[in-house]
Structure 1
Amino acid sequence: MSERELTLLVEGRVELRGLIPRGSNAAFLVRVSRGDDSVYAVYKPEAGERPLFDFEPGLHRRERAAYLLSEHLGWGIVPPTVIREDPPLGVGSLQWFVECDFREHYFTLYADSPETHRRLLQIALFDCVANNTDRKSGHVLRGHDGRVWGIDHGLCFSAGFKLRTVIWDFAGEAIPGTLLEGIAGLAETVPQDVAELLDDAEVTALQRRVRRLLHDGVLPVDPTGMRYPWPLV
């Protein structure tokens, strides 16, 4: 993504356009404008979060941490995401809105588009590193330009192992060497801008997960068949 896009998210005026339906937490489609330039984004205010027993309030920080982690890896999985204090409903995350065909999602991409499989495997690995608790099929989008994205990362980075995902088609497969090389540095050092959005136990757990992936060299298998989010899409 370009500097223009990040500048819009950081500096643009935020105008609520409507509530995005069917989410567990409140999420809004917003128009972000700066001068004559504008774009749509998804705004997730902390004030709209449903209380959770296993995650502290402030899921927007995890949305931002996932974006930063993706950028540090050079994988570009997560659309540009910033934290803003000044939108209409208070502090929350703003994420670039992916223009796409919403009839497509992980299940359709895996079944109908074999050329996306390497990207989908990469997203599966990212979710293992980030400990994604909520990778629904509808959280995988293909933009109109053909690029495949992952969205909705508010339930990531727990210190306890909580992986829940629909992406089990690559379970047990060897992780490509280039991807292992990409995550290797995280075993020793988590980038500061990611670490400061998490607590110490979560940072340590991220490093532990990476070491396990490097040791095993394969994507994990779910022997229970229970590690799925709900609903699936």
Structure 2
Amino acid sequence: MTSSDLCATLDESDALRLLRGGQFQLEGRLVDASNTTLRARLTLDGVTARCVYKPVRGERPLWDFPDGTLAGREVSAYLVSQATGWGLVPPTVLRDGPLGPGACQLWIDEPDDAEALVGFVPSDQLPPRWFPVAGARDEDGTAYALAHADDPRLAALAVLDAVINNADRKGGHVLRGPDDRVYGVDHGVSFHVEEKLRTVLWGWAGRPLPAEAVEVLRRLAGAVAGPLGAELAEHLTTAEIAELAGRVDRLVEQGRFPLPPQDWPAMPWPPI
């Protein structure tokens, strides 16, 4: 069975069981990643799927995030995503592996015919119901727009990013699964106590949140104060969890998508 098959057929509990207990077979390294990021096969009881394995020992030190905490932030993003009910982050666990403890996340294979939801398009060819969020020019001076679709799945991801204070939502971190779901990946630089939201999904900036999102956030507030908060305490500090709760409360109170920051770069680099 391929990893694509598993993405479509493996339920959440079975995926987590495989991620936690599967036997590793490393396949190679993703060379474009800034930290050590490996692709591997996991096998358990005759079931096999690919995963992304990010060992703690391969995390590059950052000036604004404590050393050795990125893997736990990846898991925390998954836990918050599951608490919303949106299922936007692939199943992710913290476990031991060939290079020691690290984040282990189910690999998402994008179908060959999957349409991009984020990207650069010629400025005069912006697709219907797409938001331009930044401008650029190629070597010949042709104008392009960095843009994304006005898609409710992306809007939910934008809300999740605001909640977890994601400092690195690149276009390449938005995936289309074979089940036509949208997934967000690479959340190691999230949950900072200072505002660091940096994303390409600014199309809804300042607009009212969907009513459904407000209800989700209200439920999430209760979860953070209860069992979710206890789970997050295994990976985040007390201050980080308190700031998470504060961001949720502010989003509910304001009822709008956040605006780009004025004292922090609003876009990740590279954006895709």
Is the pair's TM-score, using the shorter chain for normalization, greater than 0.5?
yes
Instruction: Report the counterpart of residue 149 of structure 1 in structure 2.
Output: 183
What pairs with 1:19-168 in structure 2 (closer than 5 Å)? Answer: 19-56=29-66, 57-85=68-96, 87-101=97-111, 105-108=116-119, 117-168=151-202
User: Secondary structure of the equivalent of 2:39?
Assistant: strand
- 1:227 equivalenced with 2:237 (yes/no): no
Structure 1 residues 229 and 89: alpha-carbon distance in aligned structure 2, compared to 1, 3 A threshold: same
Distance between the aligned counterparts of 2:127 and 2:75, measured in 1? 31
Distance between the aligned counterparts of 1:5 and 1:49, measured in 2? 25
Q: Which moved more, 1:106-115 or 1:132-141?
A: 106-115
User: Secondary structure of the equivalent of 1:43?
Assistant: strand
What's the TM-score once normalised by structure 1's chain length? 0.92
C-alpha deviation, 1:101, in angstroms: 4.3
Distance between the aligned counterparts of 2:238 and 2:57, measured in 1? 25
Structure 1 residues 147 and 113: alpha-carbon distance in aligned structure 2, compared to 1, 3 A threshold: farther
What's the TM-score once normalised by structure 2's chain length? 0.79
Q: Deviations over 1:177-200 (max 9, x none)?
A: 111111114445511212332101
Q: Which moved more, 1:178-187 or 1:206-215?
A: 178-187
- 1:194 equivalenced with 2:232 (yes/no): yes
Distance between the aligned counterparts of 1:25 and 1:180, measured in 2? 35
Structure 1 residues 18 and 104: alpha-carbon distance in aligned structure 2, compared to 1, 3 A threshold: farther
Gaps of 5+ in 2: 1-10, 130-148
Q: Deviations over 1:160-193 (max 9, x none)?
A: 1110001001111110111111111444551121
Structure 1 residues 19 and 139: alpha-carbon distance in aligned structure 2, compared to 1, 3 A threshold: same
User: Secondary structure of the equivalent of 1:32?
Assistant: strand
Distance between the aligned counterparts of 1:91 and 1:48, measured in 2? 10
Distance between the aligned counterparts of 1:17 and 1:151, measured in 2? 19
Distance between the aligned counterparts of 2:168 and 2:115, measured in 1? 18
Count of residue pairs brought into register by the alignment: 232
CA RMSD of aligned residues (A): 2.2
- Name the aligned partner's letter for residue 100 of structure 1: E
- Name the aligned partner's letter for residue 50 of structure 1: R
Instruction: Report the counterpart of residue 214 of structure 1 in structure 2.
Output: 252
Percent identity between matched residues is 41
Distance between the aligned counterparts of 1:185 and 1:105, measured in 2? 31
Point out the structure with the larger strand share.
Answer: 2
Q: Indicate if the aligned counterparts of 2:197 and 2:261 stay in contact, CA closer than 8 A.
A: no
C-alpha deviation, 1:55, in angstroms: 0.9
Q: Indicate if the aligned counterparts of 2:38 and 2:54 stay in contact, CA closer than 8 A.
A: yes
Larger radius of gyration: 2
Q: Indicate if the aligned counterparts of 2:30 and 2:39 stay in contact, CA closer than 8 A.
A: yes
- Name the aligned partner's letter for residue 80 of structure 2: L
Gaps of 5+ in 1: none
